[in-house]
Amino acid sequence: MHIAIIMDGNGRWAARRQLPRSAGHRAGAKSVNRIVEAAARRGVDTLSLYAFSAANWQRPPGEVSALFMLLRRYLVSQTQRCVEQSIRINIIGRRDRLSPTLLELIERSEAATAQGSRMLLRIAVDYSGQHSLIETCRRLPAGEAVDRARFAEVLAAVDHSAFACPEVDLLIRTGGEQRLSDFLLWECAYAELLFSERLWPDFDEPAFEQALQEFAGRDRRYGRLSGPATARLGSG
C-alpha cells in the first residue's frame, strides 16, 4: 500500500495560537514522527510526504530557511531511528537547487537506510509533479517506443526515487484544502483522495487510523463496474 500525504496547515495552526509560522512547522515535524511510526506499524509499504514544493521557494526567505533547517534536523535525528526500524529514507524531487551540506546529509541518510525493508519513506523536497513529467518526456529518446513501465522508470530517475514506486493508493491532505498542489500527478492517477479539516500538527494516529478505515470502505473500480453490478450485468 502506498500512502501520500500533503501536510498542510502548519502556518494556520501557529496563527490561531498567535505564534510565529516557524512554531507551526516545528509542531508539524512532530506529527511527521508520529505518522511515520503509525504507518510502519500498520504495514504501509510506501509513505510519501510533501515537505517542500517547488512553489514554496516563493515564501519569505526566513521561512524557507526554517523549513530546510527542520529537514536537516530530521535527517540528523531520525536516520538512526529509521535504521533501527528498517525504514528506508528516500528524498525525491530536484537536487540542483539544494545546498551542498543538505545534499551530503541526504546522501548519507539514504545510504545508511538503504537496507530498510519494512517501509519506504519518501520525502518530497523541491518537488513539482509538472516539472517531473516534463523532464521525463525530455529525457526519453526520440522515437523510442514507451510503455507505462518505461515511463515510470525514467520518471523515477528524474525524481531521484529509489525505484519506480507503485501508484498511490490513498492521498491524504490535511488543512481543509481540496487540491493536489502539483504532488505526484502521475502516481495519483487512480488514488483515493481524502481531505481532512485537521491542520497537520493536529493530525495524530487516531486521525490516521480513521483515514485508513474510510479508505478500506471505498469501492476502487479503476473504471470497471463494482462486483454486484458486474454480477447483475452478467446475469442476463
pLDDT of 187-199, one tens digit each? Answer: 999 999 999 999 9
pLDDT of residue 221: 76
The overall average pLDDT reported for the chain is: 93
- 174 has a pLDDT exceeding 60: yes
Question: CA-to-CA distance for 125 and 223, rounded, in angstroms?
Answer: 32
pLDDT of residue 195: 98
CATH class given for the domain over 2-130+167-234? alpha beta
CA distances for 36 relative to 15, 79, 89, 205, 225, angstroms: 25, 12, 11, 10, 34
Q: 10 Å Cβ neighbour count for 224?
A: 9
- What is the arithmetic mean of pLDDT over 206-211? 97
DSSP assignment of the chain, as one string?
Answer: -EEEEE---HHHHHHHTT--HHHHHHHHHHHHHHHHHHHHHTT-SEEEEEEEEGGGGGS-HHHHHHHHHHHHHHHHHHHHHHHHTTEEEEEES--TTS-HHHHHHHHHHHHHTTT--SEEEEEEEEE-HHHHHHHHHHHSPTT----HHHHHHHHHHHTT-SS-PPPPSEEEE-SS--S-TTSSTTTTTT-EEEE-SS-GGG--HHHHHHHHHHHHTS---TTSPPHHHHHHHHT-
Domain ranges of the chain: 2-130+167-234
Q: Which of 29, 75, 19, 35 has the alpha carbon at shortest distance from 51?
A: 29
Q: Which of 41, 48, 6 has the alpha carbon at shortest distance from 203?
A: 6
- 230 has a pLDDT exceeding 90: no
- What is the arithmetic mean of pLDDT over 49-73? 96
Question: CA-to-CA distance for 102 and 70, rounded, in angstroms?
Answer: 11
Least confident stretch, 33-47, 124-138, 156-170, 219-233: 219-233
- What is the arithmetic mean of pLDDT over 104-122? 98
Higher per-residue pLDDT: 234 or 133? 133
Those residues whose C-beta lies under 8 Å from the C-beta of residue 148, and which sit 6 or more positions away, are none
Which residue in this structure is represented by grid cell 521561512?
63
Those residues whose C-beta lies under 8 Å from the C-beta of residue 147, and which sit 6 or more positions away, are none
- What is the arithmetic mean of pLDDT over 57-84? 96
- 25 has a pLDDT exceeding 60: yes
Least confident stretch, 120-129, 198-207, 215-224: 215-224
Those residues whose C-beta lies under 8 Å from the C-beta of residue 137, and which sit 6 or more positions away, are none
pLDDT of residue 225: 67
Confidence band for 143, pLDDT divided at 50, 70 and 90: confident
pLDDT of residue 229: 40
Higher per-residue pLDDT: 93 or 222? 93
| Entry pTM | 0.92
CA distances for 12 relative to 21, 167, 201, angstroms: 8, 30, 10
- 233 has a pLDDT exceeding 90: no
Question: CA-to-CA distance for 93 and 128, rounded, in angstroms?
Answer: 7
pLDDT of residue 210: 97
Catalytic residue IDs: 8, 56
pLDDT of residue 21: 94
- What is the arithmetic mean of pLDDT over 4-24? 96
